[in-house]
Structure 1
Amino acid sequence: MTTLIAATTRTLTSGLRPAGGGRAGLPPLTGPIRRALALLALAVAALAVPDGPALLLGALSEAYLAVAVFVAGTLVLLALAERGLGTDLGSLLRRHARWQVPIAALLGAFPGCGGAIVALTQYTRGHLSLGGVVATLTATMGDAMFLLLAQAPEVALLVLGISMVVGVLSGWAVDAIHGPGFLRPTAPAGVSGAACGAACDRTDPEAAPSPVAARIERLWILLLGPGVALGILLAFQVDPDAWLAPVLGVAPVHWIGVIGAAGALVLWVLRGRGMEAGAGGEEPARGGVDLAPIVATTSFVTAWVVFAFAAYELAMAGLGLDLGALFQAAAPWVPLIAVLVGLIPGCGPQIVVTTLYLSGIAPLSAQLGNAIANDGDALFPAIAVAPKAAAVATVYSALPALIVGYGAYAVWG
Structure 2
Amino acid sequence: MSELLDIFLASVRDGFVQVSAFVAVTVLLFSYVQYKTDGRLIRRLEENRRAGPLVGALMGLTPGCGGAIVMMPLYVRGSVSFGTVVATLIATAGDSAFVILALAPEAALYAYGIAFVSAVVFGYAVDTFGLGVDRIDRAVASLRPSVTDGGVPVAGAGRREHFAAAGVGSQVHHYEDEAGCEVDAPTRNNPLMRRLSLGALALWWVAAAVALVAGTLYLLRGAPDVPLALGLDYAGVFTVFGITGTALSFYLYFVGRRYVGHGHVGQARDTFANVRETLTHAGMETSFVTVWVITAYLLYEYTMLFSGLDLAAVAAAVGVLAPVAGAALGLIPGCGPQIVLATAYAEGAIPFSALTANAISQDGDALFPLIAIDKKAAVIASIYTTVPALVVGVGMHLLFGPMFGFGVLG
Q: Does 1:397 align with 2:381?
A: no
Q: 1:304 aligns with which of 276, 292, 299?
A: 292
CA 1:381–1:314: 2 relative to 1, 3 Å: same
Give deviations 1:17-72, integer Å, cap 9, x for gaps: xxxxxxxxxxxxxxxxxxxxxxxxxxxxxx5xx51101110011110110010011
Question: Which residue of structure 1 lines up, in the alignment, with residue 207 of structure 2?
Answer: 223
Give deviations 1:213-234, integer Å, cap 9, x for gaps: 3322221122222121111111
User: Which consecutive residues of structure 2, in runs of 5 or more, have no partner in the other structure?
Assistant: 135-149, 163-174, 265-271, 403-410
1:18-97 equivalent positions in 2, closer than 5 A? 47=1, 51-89=3-41, 91-97=43-49
Question: Which residue of structure 2 lines up, in the alignment, with residue 129 of structure 1?
Answer: 81
Q: Does 1:154 align with 2:106?
A: yes
Q: Is the 8 A contact 2:22 2:102 kept in 1?
A: yes
Question: Which residue of structure 2 lines up, in the alignment, with residue 330 of structure 1?
Answer: 318
Question: Which residue of structure 1 lines up, in the alignment, with residue 375 of structure 2?
Answer: 387
1:159-178 equivalent positions in 2, closer than 5 A? 159-178=111-130
Deviation at 1:303, TM superposition (A): 1.2
Deviation at 1:401, TM superposition (A): 0.6
Question: Which residue of structure 1 lines up, in the alignment, with residue 151 of structure 2?
Answer: 183
Q: Which has the higher helix share?
A: 1
When normalised by structure 2's length, the TM-score is: 0.78
Question: Which residue of structure 2 lines up, in the alignment, with residue 412 of structure 1?
Answer: 401
Deviation at 1:315, TM superposition (A): 2.4
Judge which range, 348-357 or 312-321, deviates more.
312-321
Question: Which residue of structure 2 lines up, in the alignment, with residue 104 of structure 1?
Answer: 56
Looking at structure 1, the residues matched to 281 and 206 of structure 2 have their Cα atoms a distance apart, in angstroms, of 16
1:329-348 equivalent positions in 2, closer than 5 A? 329-348=317-336
Q: Is the 8 A contact 1:126 1:184 kept in 2?
A: no
Q: Does 1:255 align with 2:235?
A: no
Deviation at 1:322, TM superposition (A): 1.5
Question: Which residue of structure 2 lines up, in the alignment, with residue 214 of structure 1?
Answer: 198
Give deviations 1:124-178, integer Å, cap 9, x for gaps: 0100100000001101021111111122222222222111111111111111223
Deviation at 1:368, TM superposition (A): 0.7
Give deviations 1:358-399, integer Å, cap 9, x for gaps: 110001111111111101111111112122221111111110
Give deviations 1:293-350, integer Å, cap 9, x for gaps: 2111111111111111122222223332222112222233221111111111111111
Q: 2:337 aligns with which of 349, 370, 376?
A: 349
Question: Which residue of structure 2 lines up, in the alignment, with residue 373 of structure 1?
Answer: 361
Q: Is the 8 A contact 2:22 2:212 kept in 1?
A: yes
Looking at structure 2, the residues matched to 194 and 271 of structure 1 have their Cα atoms a distance apart, in angstroms, of 34
Looking at structure 2, the residues matched to 379 and 207 of structure 1 have their Cα atoms a distance apart, in angstroms, of 31
Q: Is the 8 A contact 1:241 1:252 kept in 2?
A: no
* 1:112 match: secondary structure: coil
Question: Which residue of structure 2 lines up, in the alignment, with residue 44 of structure 1?
Answer: none
Deviation at 1:83, TM superposition (A): 3.1
* 1:251 match: secondary structure: helix
When normalised by structure 1's length, the TM-score is: 0.77
Q: Is the 8 A contact 2:60 2:92 kept in 1?
A: yes
Q: 2:179 aligns with which of 168, 191, 197?
A: 197
CA 1:250–1:353: 2 relative to 1, 3 Å: closer
Identity of aligned residues (%): 34
* 1:196 match: secondary structure: coil
Judge which range, 201-210 or 377-386, deviates more.
201-210
Looking at structure 2, the residues matched to 377 and 69 of structure 1 have their Cα atoms a distance apart, in angstroms, of 20
CA 1:293–1:173: 2 relative to 1, 3 Å: same
Question: Which residue of structure 1 lines up, in the alignment, with residue 169 of structure 2?
Answer: none
Q: Does 1:120 align with 2:72?
A: yes
The number of equivalent residue pairs is 358
Looking at structure 1, the residues matched to 384 and 189 of structure 2 have their Cα atoms a distance apart, in angstroms, of 35
Q: Does 1:264 align with 2:249?
A: yes
Looking at structure 2, the residues matched to 173 and 394 of structure 1 have their Cα atoms a distance apart, in angstroms, of 16
CA 1:375–1:66: 2 relative to 1, 3 Å: same
CA 1:101–1:250: 2 relative to 1, 3 Å: closer
Give deviations 1:172-211, integer Å, cap 9, x for gaps: 1111223999826655359xx9953135549895798644
Q: CA RMSD in A?
A: 3.4
Q: Is the 8 A contact 2:198 2:260 kept in 1?
A: no
Looking at structure 1, the residues matched to 218 and 258 of structure 2 have their Cα atoms a distance apart, in angstroms, of 28
Q: Is the 8 A contact 1:200 1:381 kept in 2?
A: no
Q: Is the 8 A contact 1:342 1:371 kept in 2?
A: yes
Paired amino acid for 2:180: A
Paired amino acid for 1:270: V
Q: Is the 8 A contact 1:123 1:184 kept in 2?
A: no
Judge which range, 215-224 or 352-361, deviates more.
215-224
